Structure 1
Amino acid sequence: MSTTILTPGPLTGTTRESHFGPLRALRLGVRRIGYETKLYFRAGDTVFFTFLFPVVLLGIFSVAFGGLGNVGANPDGSGGISQAAYYLPGMIAAGILLSGVQNLGVDIAMERGDGTLKRLAGTPLPVISYFIGKMGQVLVTSLAQVILLLLLARVAFGVALPTEPAKWLTFVWVYLLGIVTAAVLGIAISRLPRSGKSASAVIIPPLLVLQFISGVYLSFALLPEWLQNIASIFPLKWIAQGMRAALLPDSFASAEAGGSWNLPGVAIALGIWLVVGLVVCRVTFRWIRKDS
């Protein structure tokens, strides 16, 4: 019979599993993905404000601005792309932010506040299994959201999706790097709220502002240079830029800062934020707040 030895460790704040079969920990984590996903879809407000919100906005923007004509059209009105095609990359980027940062940031803060993390700390559940469950839930729900956005754009608004394999390759790596970074940052910022009740008020407003200055709802080129510089510090701007590179015609690259898609810059910026998020999680995450 194997035994589990508990020793002090920074990830739990009180105890850490020094020995737990990695395969068993993985199995527990995979099982928690299903559990976390069920909890996610049972929370109506979470489903609307993280899962359906970008879908609803894509529909509203496509209908409301459809009368303005195509974006990037020639002087005679020909050419360009529809409003739905223009807003699609930004809505996918916003969905990545909401699914990762907002979802996990609020969820984990509430679990800390209502005692869920305290109860988990008293069980044999490895910390890695808990994180696998959270990260897996984000990946599953985010993929479902992306598929829904692409289907809405294609079926309801006739958006012509890319046919070049290189475009889809860009889409895949930007999405994967973006969603992992967003999820890690969500775990990191879950320490900011002082209580579960204040989690939404602390986390959601800054993320909403970030969406407006990062090229999601407004063209990034329309923003003043100083505001572009501020937005460029944060990952959402780079996720949105990478999605535009994947889904928009190459002629739209001239509207980006620097006149190109700058995909190496996208990878570097998101990579830096991923490392920062991992370091913050490693240093600050606790099952139980120190002042609880």
Structure 2
Amino acid sequence: MSQIKTRSSGVQAAVSAPRHRPATGPATVLRVGLSRIGYETRIYFRTTDSVFFTFLFPFIMLAIFTAAFGASGNIGTAPDGSGGISVGAYYLPGMLAAGMLLSGVQNLAVDIAGEKGDGTLKRLGGTPLSPLSYFLGKIGQVLVTGIFQAALLMLVARVLLGIDLPTAPEKWLTFAWVFLLGVITSAFLGIALSSLPRSGKSATAVVIPIVLVLQFISGVYLQFYVLPEWMQNLASVFPLKWMAQGMRGVFLPDSFASLEQTGSWDFPLIALNLAIWLVVGLVLSRVTFRWIRKDT
């Protein structure tokens, strides 16, 4: 499941810039950062295992859950068997939330740890590239691939699985801010988490269990309302629970809000928790990021 790939000769040339570091203003930092988004996105899609385990994984899991549990009938049906929604429709919000987490946390944590391990960050540290420009490139890549992933996942759900999508404009407005907050928060947390593995080779072993456990306790793979209260409370500490709840609030009927802990979608609380985690991720990523590990 390793996501670590040795950079191509083109990457070597890209980082062999002059070692002087001229003064750079905000406009230059922004311009360089934006210019790296396309580069980072191309590298991402050239890395087959990254595409499989972060981009395609939600598609695979949605197909598995639909095939495995679809025959058991709708979820949330009335006592007489009427109403409810299909298994695929219920799991779609969770898969969208999982896509945000995988694209941000797992992708960047493993990718940046690999760049530290193969010397890419050390070489970049000798160029005029600032950490902020580097961050912009990485976060921009996550945003671009995340939007593409979410759009494609909804298209597959609608066309292949016959899942109805929201029609109310306010639902799509909610989707937009939950998605943006979730993706950017996940990206910052991924950058911060990249400092935890002691080598590029150990990155997947460190990162994937964390991501996997969060998905199980946050209402992605298991129906959140069937989890014990202590597990729901534990999940509420982390951002994935709020991303999944926000997506459920967009794609599930309003009657399903009664299954949440407080009996409502709690959109203001979702926004607050994701905003807090965004700030935490931003601070941690800036504090922990180094071109070279301290213990090297």
Q: TM-score, normalised by structure 1?
A: 0.92
Q: Alpha-carbon deviation of 1:17?
A: 5.8
* Of 182, 188, 192, the match for 2:186: 182
Q: Alpha-carbon deviation of 1:118?
A: 0.3
Query: How far apart, CA to CA, are the structure 2 residues paired with 1:107 and 1:236?
Result: 20
Partner residue of 2:279? 275
Partner residue of 2:239? 235
Query: How far apart, CA to CA, are the structure 1 residues paired with 2:77 and 2:288?
Result: 50
Q: Alpha-carbon deviation of 1:126?
A: 2.1
* Of 173, 176, 184, the match for 2:177: 173
Query: How far apart, CA to CA, are the structure 1 residues paired with 2:135 and 2:286?
Result: 12
* Of 19, 35, 40, the match for 1:36: 40
What SS class does the counterpart of residue 160 from structure 2 fall into? helix
**After the TM superposition, which of the residue ranges 73-82 and 97-106 deviates more from structure 2?**
73-82
* Of 138, 163, 167, the match for 1:163: 167
Partner residue of 1:212? 216
* One-letter amino acid of the counterpart of residue 246, structure 1: V
Task: Indicate yes or no: 2:119 matched with 1:115.
Answer: yes
Query: How far apart, CA to CA, are the structure 1 residues paired with 2:249 and 2:56?
Result: 24
Partner residue of 1:5? none
Partner residue of 1:54? 58
RMSD of aligned residue pairs (Cα, Å) = 1.4
> Is the Cα contact below 8 Å between 1:55 and 1:148 reproduced in 2?
no
Query: How far apart, CA to CA, are the structure 2 residues paired with 1:114 and 1:273?
Result: 30
Query: How far apart, CA to CA, are the structure 2 residues paired with 1:42 and 1:162?
Result: 33
Q: Alpha-carbon deviation of 1:265?
A: 1.0
Q: Alpha-carbon deviation of 1:282?
A: 2.1
Q: TM-score, normalised by structure 2?
A: 0.91
Query: How far apart, CA to CA, are the structure 1 residues paired with 2:209 and 2:267?
Result: 29
Q: Equivalent pairs: percent with the same residue?
A: 68
Query: How far apart, CA to CA, are the structure 2 residues paired with 1:288 and 1:223?
Result: 42
Q: Alpha-carbon deviation of 1:31?
A: 2.0
Query: How far apart, CA to CA, are the structure 2 residues paired with 1:115 and 1:263?
Result: 43
> Is the Cα contact below 8 Å between 2:257 and 2:265 reproduced in 1?
yes
Query: How far apart, CA to CA, are the structure 1 residues paired with 2:211 and 2:160?
Result: 28
Query: How far apart, CA to CA, are the structure 2 residues paired with 1:17 and 1:275?
Result: 28
> How many residues in Structure 1 have an aligned counterpart in Structure 2?
278
* One-letter amino acid of the counterpart of residue 292, structure 2: I
Task: Indicate yes or no: 2:151 matched with 1:140.
Answer: no
